[in-house]
Amino acid sequence: MSEAIAKPRSKSLQRRDAKLALKASKRYKRMQQRESAPKLTGRQRVFNWLLHIIMALMVIYCLVPLLWVIFSSTKTSEGIFSSFGLWLDDKNVFWQNVQDTFAYQHGVYTRWLFNTIMYAVVAGVGATIIATFAGYAIAAMRFPGRNALLAVTLAFMSIPSTVITVPLFLMYSKIGLVGTPWAVIVPQLATPFGLYLMIIYAQTSIPVSLIEAAKLDGASTWTIFWKVGFPLLSPGFVTVLLFTLVGVWNNYFLPLIMLTNTKDYPLTVGLNMWLKMGAYGTADGQVPNNLIITGSLIAVVPLIIAFMFLQKYWQSGLAAGSVKQ
């Protein structure tokens, strides 16, 4: 009994079958998307569009000033007022503006930048370490007064830092800290928000059974923290570090009250002094507007770099601390 041998299909039929299969696949994916996507009512669609419009306006509101600073930093002081703010001028003098900014008043901007980095690193890292130690202790240990500490932390979170600045000035003036960098660093070592965030993160990321197992193995409290607790807390540590760095970097009122020597100023206070000198002029002269704008742009760059490098740890830290397991 002879077996029938199937003849190979022609290339045109093969191409037709491939096109039909591709169309069927796309049709199936569209059907799945329609089935998975919930159907919105008319009111819900209007509300959805309204939310998108509000978010777009918020993005524009945040980006327009930054774009204006970027474009204005490429112009001369006269070109800032004679050209459109959101576009380049005929003459690009960005690098000249950068050089003049760092050289103006015998390079005082370099000193302000160094002061800001020093304040941010010392106060930011110190506050993060303290918040990590305290947050782990409150979350993982049981001791008298633990609930009171939680209540005090929540209470201090609701108090603006500017409210206690004047009392701190009066207190530090009695012990001789006013006019020194320590008057700016020491108050910022305490961060109630960072402490509360570390408490919540430690409660959700460190299993109690893991700590008990380490204790049964004979590990000390210090060993448990560094070998078990801190590796699990590292995303939260980076998250708090990012918040504290930004807070110290942008702090204006505290160094304005505490510092008396202009060489100890951070960028926030120094640039504000330049702004007043540019508007009204002083005995030292009138600061060109292009230098003030270029200095403001340079002051933003380190924060952008910090966000770019710490973003993934920041997002994972917030996500892990938002769900209790």
Cβ contact 290:278 at 8 Å: no
218-220-223 Cα angle (round to 5): 115
Q: Which residues contact 94 (CB under 8 A, 6 or more apart)?
A: 73, 74, 294
Helix (H) or strand (E) holding 156: helix 146-157
What is the per-residue pLDDT for 323?
42
Q: Is 285 helix (H, G, I), strand (E, B) or coil?
A: strand
Q: Identify the bridge partners of residue 285 per DSSP, sorted by sequence position.
A: 282
Q: How many C-beta atoms surround the C-beta of residue 201 within 10 A?
A: 26
Q: Which residues contact 20 (CB under 8 A, 6 or more apart)?
A: none
Report pTM. 0.78
Q: How many C-beta atoms surround the C-beta of residue 325 within 10 A?
A: 7
What is the per-residue pLDDT for 4?
45
pLDDT 10s digit of each residue in the chain, 325 long?
444 444 555 666 667 777 777 777 767 666 666 555 567 777 888 888 999 999 999 999 999 999 999 999 999 888 888 888 888 888 889 999 999 999 998 899 999 999 999 999 999 999 999 999 999 988 888 888 878 888 888 888 888 888 888 899 999 999 999 999 999 999 999 888 999 999 988 888 888 888 888 888 888 888 988 888 888 888 889 889 988 999 999 999 999 999 999 999 999 999 999 988 866 655 556 788 889 999 999 999 998 888 888 777 665 544 444 444 4
CA–CA distance, 299 with 37 (Å, rounded to integer): 44
What is the per-residue pLDDT for 227?
87
CA–CA distance, 163 with 157 (Å, rounded to integer): 12
